[in-house]
Amino acid sequence: MIRAVAVAHSHGEAGETETVTLTYENRFRRRMAMVGDGGLEFLLDLPAATELGDGDFLVTEDGRHIKVIAAMEKLMRVVGKDQQHLARAAWHIGNRHLSCEIHGRYIVLAYDHVIVDMVEKLGCSVERFEGPFNPEGGAYGQGRTHGHAH
């Protein structure tokens, strides 16, 4: 099986022969058998778990480039009454260690009916939609953080 052994964060126009569409959860990997959107079977085999961004390229042993595409996912947009209200909701969301995208007037989260109930009880409005999910990276560097001591 062909192996993808590196990640290129920019690539230009030439060379890609395949794409692979991945959810947010599947865009943080080290080793995993994958199938590209066109049917190419390959093994992702990176030296360490790596954040794969929308638009990054996986580089195979034979020099091919496989473009990473962020999958459409069930999401929700949380809107507060004003900036202070939204900041209060953000505190509650962060207190639950939820991955989220921070925008000027709203917060985007993976859809979860329990969290919908929480933010609606806080007085926020919630709009469901589908789109690519690209939450904030970790506070102590780029990419994701996994657990910490309290």
**What single-letter DSSP state applies at residue 71?**
P
3-state DSSP call for residue 26? helix
**What does the pLDDT read at residue 150?**
39
**What does the pLDDT read at residue 141?**
54
Report the CATH superfamily, name and number, of domain 73-132.
UreE, C-terminal domain (3.30.70.790)
CATH architecture classification, 2-70 = Sandwich (2.60)
Rounded to two decimals, the pTM is: 0.81
Would you give per-residue pLDDT tens digits along the chain (150 residues)?
999 999 998 766 556 679 999 999 999 999 999 999 999 999 999 999 999 999 999 999 999 999 999 999 999 999 999 999 999 999 999 999 999 999 999 999 999 999 999 999 999 999 999 999 999 876 655 555 544 443
Which residues does 6 contact at the CB level (< 8 Å), separation at least 6? 46, 58, 59
Nearest to 67 by CA among 14, 25, 110: 14
Q: Domain limits of the chain? A: 2-70, 73-132
**What does the pLDDT read at residue 16?**
62
Q: Phi and psi (nearest 5°) for 47?
A: -65, -25
**What does the pLDDT read at residue 10?**
73
